[in-house]
Amino acid sequence: MTTPVIVKLIVDCFKNGGKVLIIGNGGSMAMASHMMAEFVGIYTNSKALPAIALNDIATITAIANDTDYKYVFSRQVKALGKRGDILITFSTSGKSKNIIEGMYQAKMQALTIIDMPRIKGTTQEIQENQLHLTHEICKLVKQYFK
């Protein structure tokens, strides 16, 4: 998926009253929080855009303890997602069971899924590319909501 396509999907989602849910593990979870902060606060002077990083530690540990760690995102998507929303996933491998389960649940609920692109390389190179892409996406989305 190219940057212009990702930006259009996100802009259309926000314009239509939808929200963006964002997930990731470890450093990718930090990236999810960073993107949320850009949409909700820093990047939009005139409008706070509805984005949620699904990284509340109490929620994650409760779900992991009561069911299984692979459901920590899918349960939250099930509770918070609706048709017209977007799920953005950050992953360096694309193989994490909890990310895959979250994507499956999003598909079941007719959310648009944006799996942040991964270039070949080390974990650090993938994350650096995803961070650069995050800033570019947020900058372009911001232009629509000045």
Q: What is the pLDDT of residue 42?
A: 67
Q: Is the pTM of this model over 0.85?
A: yes
Q: What are phi and psi of 26, to 5 degrees?
A: 60, -125
Structure tokens at 129: 């590319």
CA atoms 130, 101, 81, 108: torsion sign: positive
DSSP letters of 74-131?
Answer: HHHHHHH--TT-EEEEE-SSS--HHHHHHHHHHHHTT-EEEE----SS-HHHHHHHHH
Taking only the tens place, the pLDDT of each residue in 85-140 is: 999 999 999 899 999 999 999 999 999 999 998 888 899 999 999 999 999 999 89
pLDDT in tens, 58-70: 999 999 999 999 9
Mean pLDDT of the chain, nearest integer: 93
Give the C-alpha separation, 113 to 106, whole Å.
7
